[in-house]
């Protein structure tokens, strides 16, 4: 019972941060891993448990969901398609290969927020954006934690997009992507459903609150939160898999 309560509390914290910025699922993954589950089982359980936070974070802007879905339909499709390959890779490939590059991918995605890009001067901008979103989608299907930061980093490179819309777009893209990969996980027989229930309960409440708070954030605070979350997540992954 105490284990269930602890995981629920962790889920709440993850839901709040993911609803506002993303990347906080690196907090819940090691907690799930510490219970004795295998890394693959922990990754699947973690993903299914926290995915609802992305959708509940959209409650605050529910009247604009259709509009955002139309605007980002191309990127949603690209991310979902890539996540299918990632999910099957997680189930069938040795985890050691991807573990070695995960910290670098997340760190690059986070630091790319600091790069000033003028998309109008780049004829290949859309192609590069598709590649970035596809990479984040594959990452979501294969591992998951930190995808929100990656998506934000890619979307923010287009200066024409309003900061207030980026977080909502991120939640929609990550939510749709995770849902598809989660469906594949359910047939693996490796998901720990009790822990899923605990994470679901906590992340749902936290994600709802985080989504409301995100609509009130300033641009500088928003980017600062994403950078801090992403760098913290990267540091943990470097320690976990490379040291």
Check residue 34 and give its pLDDT: 84
Phi, psi of 187 (to 5 degrees): -95, 0
Q: Of the ranges 4-8, 10-14, 147-151, which one carries the lowest mean pLDDT score?
A: 147-151
pLDDT at 91 over 80: yes
The region that residue 192 occupies, defined by phi over 0 for left and psi between -120 and 50 for alpha, beta otherwise, is: beta
Sign of the torsion angle spanned by Cα atoms 176, 178, 184, 187: negative
Q: What 3-state DSSP class applies to 97?
A: helix
pLDDT, the chain, mean: 85
What does the domain layout of the chain look like in residue ranges?
A: 2-242
For range 217-230, the mean pLDDT: 72
Q: First CA to last CA across the chain, in angstroms?
A: 34
Sign of the torsion angle spanned by Cα atoms 229, 231, 237, 239: negative
Q: What is the pLDDT of residues 144-199, one digit of tens each?
A: 887 888 888 888 877 677 777 888 899 899 999 999 999 999 999 999 999 999 99
Q: How confident is the model at residue 78 (pLDDT cuts 50, 70, 90)?
A: very high
Alpha-carbon gap, residue 52 to 74, rounded angstroms? 22
Alpha-carbon gap, residue 158 to 86, rounded angstroms? 26
Give the other-Cβ count within 10 Å of 167's Cβ. 28
Alpha-carbon gap, residue 182 to 36, rounded angstroms? 21
């Amino acid at each position: 019972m105490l284990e269930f309560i602890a995981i629920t509390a962790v889920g709440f914290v993850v839901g709040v941060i993911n609803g506002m910025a993303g990347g906080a699922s690196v907090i819940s993954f090691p907690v799930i891993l510490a219970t004795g589950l295998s890394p693959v089982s922990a990754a699947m359980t973690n993903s299914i448990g926290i995915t609802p936070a992305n959708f509940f974070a959209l409650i605050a802007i529910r009247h604009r969901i259709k509009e955002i879905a139309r605007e980002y339909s191309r990127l949603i499709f690209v991310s979902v398609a890539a996540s299918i390959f990632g999910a099957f890779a997680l189930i069938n490939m040795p985890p050691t290969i991807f573990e070695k590059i995960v910290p670098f991918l997340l760190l690059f995605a986070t630091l790319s927020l600091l790069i000033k890009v003028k998309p109008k001067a780049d004829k290949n901008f859309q192609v590069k954006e598709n590649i970035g979103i596809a990479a984040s989608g594959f990452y979501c299907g294969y591992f998951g934690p930190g995808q929100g930061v990656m998506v934000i980093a890619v979307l923010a490179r287009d200066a024409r997009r309003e900061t207030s819309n980026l977080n909502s777009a991120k939640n929609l893209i990550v939510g749709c992507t995770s849902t598809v990969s989660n469906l594949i996980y359910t047939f693996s027989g490796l998901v720990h459903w009790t822990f899923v229930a605990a994470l679901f309960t906590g992340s749902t409440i936290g994600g709802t609150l985080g989504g409301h708070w995100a609509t009130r954030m300033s641009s500088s605070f928003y980017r600062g939160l994403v950078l801090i979350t992403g760098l913290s997540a990267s540091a943990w992954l470097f320690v976990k898999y490379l040291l």
